[in-house]
Structure 1
Amino acid sequence: MAYQSTSTTTSAVSESRTETSYLAALIVLTSLFFMWGLITSLNDILIPHLKAAFSLTYFKVMLIQFCFFGAYFVMSIPSGLLVERAGYKRGIIIGLSTAGIGCLLFYPAAGSQSYPFFLGALFVLASGITLLQVAANPYVAILGPPRTASSRLTLTQAFNSLGTTIGPFLGSVLILSTITPSGDPVADKAAEAATVQGPYLVLAATLFVIAVLIAIVKLPQIEAQEPSAEASAAGGAHQHHDSVWGYRHLVLGAVGIFVYVGAEVSIGSFAVNFMANPDIAGLSEQTAGKYLSYYWGGAMVGRFIGAWVMRYVKPGKVLAFNAVAAIVLLVIVMLFAGKTAMWALLAIGLFNSIMFPTIFTLAIEGLGKHTGAASGVLCMAIVGGAIVPLIQGYFADMNLLYSFIIPAVCYLFIAHYGLKGHRADIAPTR
């Protein structure tokens, strides 16, 4: 018993030293999480802006999210292969450069006043973000002791939420600013489209600068461990270890990522128009865009809290609790009008907080050398952000309020994954 106690203490000290040695690398990586959070949340501002500029229906304007998150589906597997061959650092640099090019394309898109051009620019931008996700998420997860992987990734995701909190506020000021009518509809439309040029040029320059810094900074070379005995046993005698699809907790985790991102993106996408509705809060679009920062800010606060809580409570239980809380809030949104519904919607961000990093780390647990490919599968599942908003958009054109049943169904599956779906003792896939 004395030997076990000494061994445990030595292990804890070793883990502490390991986390300290990787601190510099984690600080550098948090800048990536911040930037792609800010860029992604700007879509929620682009939606009401381009909806008005091009006179679009809810369904058509949701093509913004379809093209952005559709890139995850198209590019995640190639990105996973690139990361496995080129390494995490080179993958991150290529991802930053690609995202920067996508931001630059907003300038000619606005100049040509072409909605399809905007969609193409968003696809290129999202392709770069996809590569960043595939490289950075598993890198943070394995950059330290496995026991604290969920807590560590949740903490870095908190800075992603800082970006998503700042993004809507800046976008509201810079993009949703009121254009003084000139009396010429064509000139007014051109001026309205041009408001996105400056902000995205600045974003492009920032991404290129970060890419240069990443190239200069020395990041530690990390090799993923072999699959754990527990994960191997979970697969049973029939599990095929040469394929990531043989791990059921990964497959169900991919579904979890799909519905989570779909729900989160849907809520954020409709929030500005929802709060501008006279039956809810009757806010101007610019004011509603600023209030949207509370939604993403709640996710930031929740991630800092969650990073601490999950050091003491099993991540699966925290995940299930948060999913149920989100469902309750959505029921309130659909049953009550006015500001009660508005604040219930914004409060969902607090409970969204730990979902993505928790599902992600539970899904890749014990996959060892398959971690890079598994990350590609999980990032491919982010295509939920393309599909679910389109589905809700279809129903929103009929009734915006009751269309929120769609994200509620998504959270039901997440609650299941937290309670049971992630467990290693469930039957393997065949």
Structure 2
Amino acid sequence: MNPQHGQASTPSSNRSALIALTVLFFMWGLITSLNDILIPHLKALFTLNYMQAMLVQFCFFMAYFVMSFPAGVVVEKIGYKGGILMGLLIAASGCLMFYPAAGMKSYPLFLGALFVLASGIAFLQVAANPFVTALGSPETASSRLNLTQAFNSLGTTVGPALGAAFILAVAVKSAPELQALSATELAAYEQAQLNAVQHPYLVLAAVLGAIAVFIAVFRLPRGTGEAGADDGDALPARRSIWQYPHLVLGALGIFAYVGAEVSIGSLLVAVMGQPSIAGLPPEVAGRYLSIYWGCAMVGRFVGSALMQRIPATRLLAFNALFNIALLALAILLQGRLAMWAMLSIGLFNSIMFPTIFSLAVARLGRFTSEGSGMLCMAIVGGAVVPLLQGWGADSFGLMPSFIIPALCYLYIAWYGSAGARPR
């Protein structure tokens, strides 16, 4: 046994590993959802349009595209535990970079810090997601990943509430209001704006460092996707991961799903602030955003149970079609009904990422780590689709731009109904 991969797998060690991994899922969910709070804060602070503000998500999720495939290669060599440790340390470094970025009041430095932070999370995604699918029976892999991803959704639920309380609590003043301030008042205001971003990310850096210390001394079992372990259910060996159609089509599904979810989450504060929808101030809308992510958390617990009885592919297709209906309702209607339709999308988003992921890596054998890297590269959808929708919102209106995530859900419905079968 290669010691870098941990001890042999037993039911007891599997349960302990799942608990440790659940903490990681929670933390990167919390960090990712804070972007939805950063966007309105930085948009007002730097006077950005929608497309410029969406560079927050572009830089964050572009890191997945750049780093995920190298991360897959590295994880294949150093094992899941080594990949997790590397991811935690890189993510903590990105959090620390927020301090000088805020101190210099530099939007490009903020974007650089987000790229480094997301690079660390890419390592965590590549190592942790296939590890969860490997810690038990292949038949219950989707259910198991949905259960652990439910705690990721708990993090995304807590994140906006914390961000609204700490980051959006300091209202951004307009140019005329700033001109009316005295020098002392202006200095106090600017310091409050800096502290609103610096302090939360310093705390996150400390927490990630503490988790890294814990993981370093924790003995993780070896999963079936690592070197030295067998996957008796693997498809016949092929020369390249590109020769597995259900994986390649699944990568497109991850691209579409993450793009749609991030686009909607990024613009929900702006939607709820529209006079024709709810007219909520940013700090109040930020608290409502927790409902969107909270619905995803509830849906993953429910979905984990439903998938014990309903095929994962069927549930995936149903949820995607229901989200299309909710988006159509929100686009065509006004007022609070449109707001609640948008918030409800989180419930049906819930199972999509873990379900697409587990279907796509099914029966890959020794290609599991590389396949995981390909799927995590596809998370770049979170960079491309929000930028595209930001352009659409600037060009033809905020609400009509939600046609773009609707098209993403249409592809996911097809993948669930036809594209996910291993060949």
TM-score range, shorter chain: over 0.9
8 Å Cα contact 1:47-1:62 kept in structure 2? yes
2:393 aligns with one of 391, 396, 401: 396
Q: CA deviation at 1:178?
A: 2.7
8 Å Cα contact 1:228-1:367 kept in structure 2? no
Q: 1:295 aligns to what?
A: 292
Consecutive unaligned residues of structure 2, counting only runs of 5 or more, are: 1-8
In the aligned structure 2, how far is the partner of 1:346 from the partner of 1:189? 33
In the aligned structure 1, how far is the partner of 2:222 from the partner of 2:245? 29
AA aligned to 2:215 is I
1:22 aligns with one of 11, 14, 28: 14
**Residues 184 and 35 of structure 1: CA distance in aligned 2, closer, same or farther (over 3 Å):** farther
Q: 2:422 aligns to what?
A: 424
Q: 1:410 aligns to what?
A: 408
1:152 aligns with one of 122, 136, 144: 144
2:104 aligns with one of 89, 104, 112: 112
Residues 99-178 of structure 1 mapped to structure 2, 5 A cutoff: 99-178=91-170
In the aligned structure 2, how far is the partner of 1:347 from the partner of 1:180? 29
1:368 aligns with one of 365, 369, 385: 365
8 Å Cα contact 1:95-1:132 kept in structure 2? yes
In the aligned structure 1, how far is the partner of 2:182 from the partner of 2:420? 58
Q: 2:235 aligns to what?
A: 231
Normalised by the size of structure 1, how large is the TM-score? 0.91
Q: CA deviation at 1:242?
A: 1.9
Q: CA deviation at 1:18?
A: 5.0
Q: Kindly, what percent of the aligned residue pairs are identical?
A: 61
Residues 239-388 of structure 1 mapped to structure 2, 5 A cutoff: 241-388=238-385
**Residues 138 and 184 of structure 1: CA distance in aligned 2, closer, same or farther (over 3 Å):** farther
| CA shift digits 1:225-272 (9 cap, x unpaired) | 65666733xxxxxxx712111000000000000000000000000000
Normalised by the size of structure 2, how large is the TM-score? 0.92
Q: 1:11 aligns to what?
A: none
Residue 62 (1) aligns with residue 54 (2): yes
**Residues 49 and 147 of structure 1: CA distance in aligned 2, closer, same or farther (over 3 Å):** same
SS in 2 for 1:381: helix
8 Å Cα contact 2:142-2:312 kept in structure 1? yes
In the aligned structure 2, how far is the partner of 1:120 from the partner of 1:266? 20
Q: 1:191 aligns to what?
A: 192
8 Å Cα contact 1:113-1:190 kept in structure 2? no
In the aligned structure 2, how far is the partner of 1:50 from the partner of 1:352? 27
Residue 90 (1) aligns with residue 82 (2): yes
SS in 1 for 2:338: helix
AA aligned to 2:169 is S
RMSD over equivalenced CA pairs, Å: 1.6
Q: CA deviation at 1:193?
A: 3.4
In the aligned structure 2, how far is the partner of 1:299 from the partner of 1:221? 30
Residue 73 (1) aligns with residue 65 (2): yes
AA aligned to 2:352 is M
AA aligned to 2:409 is Y
SS in 1 for 2:235: helix
AA aligned to 2:272 is M
Consecutive unaligned residues of structure 1, counting only runs of 5 or more, are: 1-16, 233-239, 426-430
Using the TM superposition, name which of 326-335 and 176-185 deviates more. Answer: 176-185
In the aligned structure 1, how far is the partner of 2:335 from the partner of 2:75? 48
Residue 217 (1) aligns with residue 218 (2): yes
In the aligned structure 2, how far is the partner of 1:125 from the partner of 1:78? 16
In the aligned structure 1, how far is the partner of 2:37 from the partner of 2:404? 21
Q: 2:39 aligns to what?
A: 47
Q: 1:235 aligns to what?
A: none
In the aligned structure 2, how far is the partner of 1:294 from the partner of 1:184? 39
SS in 1 for 2:223: coil
Q: CA deviation at 1:192?
A: 1.9
In the aligned structure 2, how far is the partner of 1:259 from the partner of 1:407? 8
In the aligned structure 2, how far is the partner of 1:211 from the partner of 1:273? 36
